[in-house]
Chain A
Amino acid sequence: MDLLSLPTAIAAAALAVPALLLLYFLKRRRRRVVVSTTLLWLKTIQDLQASSPFQKLRRNLLLLLQLLVLLGLLGALARPTLPGVVAAGRRVIILIDHSASMNATDVVPSRLARAKAAAVELIEGLTDDPETGAVGGAMVVSFSEAARVVEPWTTDRGRLRRAVASIEPTDLPTKLGPAARLIEPYTRGVGQGGGSGVTVYVISDGRVQDRQTVAAVGGAWRYVRVGESAENLGIVSLAARRESDDPRRVRVFARLANGGDGPVTTNVSLFVNGRVQRVVPVAVGGGEGGRAGALRFTLSVPLSAVIELRHDHVDSLEADNSAWLILTPPRRVRVLLVTNGNRLLEQAIRAAGATGVVRVSPGQYERGEGMRASSDEAEASGGDGGFDAVVFDRHSPRVRPGVNSLYFNAAPPVEGLALVGRAGGGDRTELMLDWRRDHPIMRYVSLDGVLVRGSGRLSLPGGAVTLATGQSGPAVVLVSDRGTQHVVVGFDPLHSNWPMQVGFPVFMKNVLGWLSVGGRSGHGSVVRPGQAVAVPVGRGVESLVYEGPVRVAAALTGANGAAVVAFDRVGYYAAEPELVGAWGAVGVSLLDPLESRIGPVDEIDMGGQVVAGAGEAVAARQEIWRWFVWAALVGLLVEWVVYARRLGV
């Protein structure tokens, strides 16, 4: 236990204790009463003194109690503290979660503010070890979807405090892996921090999405839990689809999740271009598992519209109370087909609704011939060569195309992605074992009975989404790389019976719809925090800024007339200068079931290593002067009782 204001307490004690003793030992002013005789009183006093073996103690009990009360108050004045978990001379790495769920206000003012306060307390608790001479230092790292060193190793508490204060809230998902990898050199002992002597504090609500894949390497890990309540109703899913026969009629699908224990009844409003179209009451059950409430609307909307869904239930997390969907006009898709000749595939692309299918040979593609579409619309769209997507048939390009692409028995040059045994894979026939029925690309696609001969095996990079799995491994995958999406089919359809089945044209329609301009081919699309989107800006635009909850500047990609922009905060953004079309305004929606479930977890299982959580106060030095004041009050009460019992007449 340390005393923060010991000199003050000593000075006060030097005055108060002698004063109390002086007051006690000063002759008490007694009321003078004349009695007929003191004979019986003298005898009474003698009897009382004789009958009590602890007369001295009894006589001084009040003094002892008063001294105890005084010592309690002096103790409180000395500001006693219990040491935090930061040992003297210890080096610490403070990981502060600033993901979406940390914006919850179940604790005042918010989880992030409390996390920052806990971090500051940790920093205040850093002390040098006078015995070993070790100097306490710290490093501050913020993490959400990515991790960033906010302040490298330093012993300057002022800089550390400023670094903590500079951490801004985001609406990004929580991933601890990047932070763990970032600090691994220090925790392993090869960095400046000093190795296994380092203590890592994870200040978070524990809603880590990648906790199964992250490993706590080296150092002593501590988890400081922030947050109290799980009460939150969030919109976790929003999608729209146009009617095929009437593009103006749109069906909107939404899902709400309730993380709290009790059911929640609220109103959900649907806005189209800022005007209310529907208000429906919704009851979402609570309890373990956060049961979801599904909503469906069918309405007529303009060809280009922004749909907003909003519920009016007041809860801790505001970011998931609204979601936006951008509807772009339906238009035909222009596809560049790179093949040595595949009429079946070409027909399938046309049947999927694509216009302007341009077929080039792999040699021509690599030389860059015939890749530019001729229409003005293509020019305006700003895509790579005017095409919305490129389909590679049995040809892996040397350079990654600038637009979304589809590969059959081929793979884009994405790091970590490879098609193993792609040629001459044997005559073994394989069945499709499983596929993601819930993914838009695989919607209404059945791979039952699909037989594949001589398929390759895909090795995948991190973050790849497996859409279908065959007997030898992933067969259809979706890979995102630098803002572009690539769907890779690891086998040749001509070596399977898939094209003969109804699922193939459905798959082609889905995948081309998904790939064309980020999947915005007339259906609604959502923008999530952290997601980089390519905004077609046309030629002549020198800068693009989105004004919303925060100001976001887009990076212009140059000649192709597109801008890449990523939003960290949820909200409604307006483009400056104004853009014509769907990108004039962007609604960034959380739509993340994991972030909407805000209940703080008690422990983080990091790849099998369980890090138990402790409250915010545990990390910091605890001031315990209140205990002393309580003890003094109890002492005062006892003293009063003793005094009253003596005079209890």
Chain B
Amino acid sequence: MTQVAPAQPVDQEALLSSDFVRKLDRLDVLSRKLLAGKLHGERRSKRKGRSVEFADYRPYTPGDDPRFIDWNLYARLDRLFTRLFMEEEDLSVSVLLDVSASMDWGTPNKLLFAKRLAAALGYIGLAHYNRVHFYSFADTVVDRLVNLRGRGPVGRMLGFLGSQRARGGGDLAQSCRRFALTQRGKGVVVIVSDFFDKGDLGAALRYLSPSLYDVYAIQLLSPDELDPRVGKVIGDLKLVDCEDGAATEVSVTAGVLDQYTANLRGFCRGLRGQCLRRGVSYMMSDTSVGFDTLVLRYLRERGLLR
């Protein structure tokens, strides 16, 4: 577990290759909820609007546009009804990127993996004229790039992601709180993190109200975190936490490793349970999984992309 592949500097091609971009053009970000947007876009809105798709009738009230009165119905029922049409608006997609020190870890590096994932999601959102926001967080929201729309700001997006460096300890609750206060409006929120947070994960997710956000939690773990034998974490060791520097002396034996694996499984199970309770869609991925596979297959299976 001592292998640390530094995530920086990263050029844009490494984050989003042109070959991969062509594959992403076919995808779109999917929200399980009909969320109101701000601008006209390609997505159905809860609001009734001026699209060509019929939605419903309602009794005519004075002031309604007489162009939408259904005269055929008036002829049959002798009452005035106004035709309503579906509104198509844009979708707000927020990507929360964990840049705490624990993310800059493992082989393949978790932060690099997370940046590529964020870039892919962002590109898909931008390609479909959604409003895309990027927030990087550690102990709080440390950087952001908001209100991107259309393919134009792809370069800014990649520049933003490429410039993110791992820093300090992580505090997911504080970061979510800051995000909720900062980001007004409804939308899809994707949290990309390892969720190694010594605080209360349930409290963190509480800030992401299901009524406002369609939240996806993507947990990234490196292979040597899943199995410390890979990183040769064996013997009498002094384990140092890379975030807070806390040291733990432990004699890593077979029994200890078994217990560690069981605890990791329990930790992931607990996180998944918290997500289910909060209406958050959870998925865990190993960074050794091919990035293409994750984006083109797993995220589609989980319903984040289509």
Contact = CB atoms under 8 A, between A and B. Distances in A.
B242 A34 contact: yes
Nearest to B257: A649
B264 to A, nearest CB: 6
Contacts of A28: 236
Interface string B84-107: 000000000000000000100110
A45 B252 CA distance: 10
Contacts of A47: 259, 263
B241 A37 contact: yes
B234 A38 contact: no
Given A31-B235, A33-B239, A47-B259, A647 B254 contact: yes
B39 interface: no
A47 B194 CA distance: 22
A36 interface: yes
B196 interface: yes
Contacts of A45: 248, 250, 256
Contact of B240 (A32, A645, A647, A649): A32
B285 to A, nearest CB: 16
Given A647-B254, A649-B257, A36 B235 contact: no
Nearest to A27: B249
B240 A33 contact: yes
Q: Which secondary structure dominates chain B's binding surface?
A: mixed
B146 to A, nearest CB: 29
B196 A39 contact: yes
Contacts of A275: none
Contacts of B2: 33-34
Contacts of B110: 36
Given A43-B263, A47-B263, A646-B253, A38 B237 contact: no
A37 B255 contact: no
A30 B235 CA distance: 8
Contact of B238 (A30, A44, A645): A30
Nearest to B256: A44
Interface residues of A, number: 24
B139 interface: no
Nearest to B1: A35
Contact of A44 (B194, B234, B259): B259
Given A40-B264, A649-B234, 19 more contacts: A33-B239, A33-B240, A34-B239, A34-B242, A35-B1, A35-B241, A36-B1, A36-B196, A36-B222, A36-B242, A37-B194, A37-B198, A41-B260, A44-B259, A45-B250, A48-B256, A48-B259, A646-B251, A647-B253
Interface of B: 1-2, 4, 102, 105-106, 110, 194, 196, 198, 222, 225, 229, 233-243, 246-257, 259-260, 263-264, 267
24 contacts: A30-B237, A31-B235, A32-B238, A33-B238, A34-B239, A34-B242, A35-B241, A36-B105, A36-B194, A36-B241, A37-B102, A37-B198, A37-B242, A38-B240, A39-B196, A40-B260, A41-B239, A44-B256, A47-B259, A47-B263, A646-B255, A647-B234, A648-B254, A649-B254
The 9 A-B pairs of least Cβ separation, nearest first, read A37-B196, A30-B238, A36-B105, A36-B102, A38-B241, A646-B253, A44-B259, A38-B248, A44-B260
